[in-house]
Amino acid sequence: AKRERGADAGYDYSTMTDQQLVDYFHCTLFPNLTITMSPEQCQILRTEPHPTDPEKCIFQHWCLYPPNAKLAEVQTPVGPAPLRHDAIARHSRYGDGVSVGYVADQDLSIGTTQQQGLNSRGFKGCILPGQEKRVQRFHEKLNDMVLGHPTAAVG
Reported as a single tens digit per residue, the pLDDT across 131-143 is 888 888 888 888 8
Closest listed residue to residue 1, CA positions, set 18, 20, 26: 18
- Taking the CA of residue 21 as centre, how many other CA atoms within 13 Å lie in the half-sphere pointing to its CB? 14
- Measured distance CA(155)–CA(56) in Å, rounded: 30
Angle at 52 between CA 48 and CA 53, to 5 degrees: 80
Q: Which of 92, 75, 73 is nearest to 83 (CA)?
A: 73
pTM summary value:
0.71
Q: CA dist 25 to 17, 21, 75, 97, Å?
A: 13, 10, 17, 29
Per-residue pLDDT tens digits for 1-52: 889 989 988 899 999 999 999 999 999 888 889 999 999 889 898 989 889 9
pLDDT computed for residue 75 by the predictor = 80
Q: Distance of CA 109 to CAs 85, 102, 121, 138, 151, Å?
A: 31, 11, 21, 21, 31
> What are the backbone dihedrals phi and psi of residue 33, each rounded to the nearest 5 degrees, phi first?
-130, 130
pLDDT at 87 (0 to 100): 62
- Which letter does DSSP use for residue 154 in this model? P
The per-residue pLDDT for range 47-105, each reduced to its tens digit, is 898 899 888 888 888 888 888 888 888 887 778 888 877 666 667 777 788 887 788 88
Extract the runs of DSSP E, i.e. beta strands, from the chain: 25-29, 33-37, 42-49, 57-64, 73-76, 79-82
